[in-house]
Structure 1
């Protein structure tokens, strides 16, 4: 895991549920560091540094696109 880098940080465990499903569906190796600690004690998220999404550097562009799509959903008019 020393090759993995942090690409995003989340404050609460519920924020990563959809993202985890997408990453698994896309077959992108990932790790949510501190996930269990924050799930147990959400008020200590800042103390633990949040839930860090760690990925392999080769997947940066794919994961950034997924994060952008989640943060900026298309609106249908």
Structure 2
């Protein structure tokens, strides 16, 4: 895990539901740090710094493209 970097930070577990599938479909190496803890105790989000999307350094550019496309052209906004 030492070659993984933070690509994005999310506040709540529901924000990563669709993104997880997009990253898996792309075949990327990733994990969400603090996901389990914030699912159990959501009020710890500020104390833990949110849910961090960690990706392999080699996949960072691809993940940024996926994140940009997801934010820009997505009709499935989670509110």
Q: Deviation per CA, 1:23-64, whole angstroms, max 9, x where unpaired?
A: 111100101000000111111101011000000111111100
Q: Number of matched residues?
A: 75
Cα distance change, pair 41–74 in 1 and its aligned pair in 2 (3 A): closer
Please give the residue correspondences for 1:30-69 in structure 2 after superposition, counting only pairs within 5 Å: 30-69=30-69
Q: Which runs of 5+ in 1 are unaligned?
A: none
RMSD of the TM alignment (CA)?
A: 1.3
TM-score, structure 1 length as denominator? Answer: 0.92
Cα distance change, pair 74–42 in 1 and its aligned pair in 2 (3 A): closer
How far did residue 74 of structure 1 move?
6.4
Larger Rg: 1
Please give the residue correspondences for 1:18-37 in structure 2 after superposition, counting only pairs within 5 Å: 18-37=18-37
Q: Which runs of 5+ in 2 are unaligned?
A: none
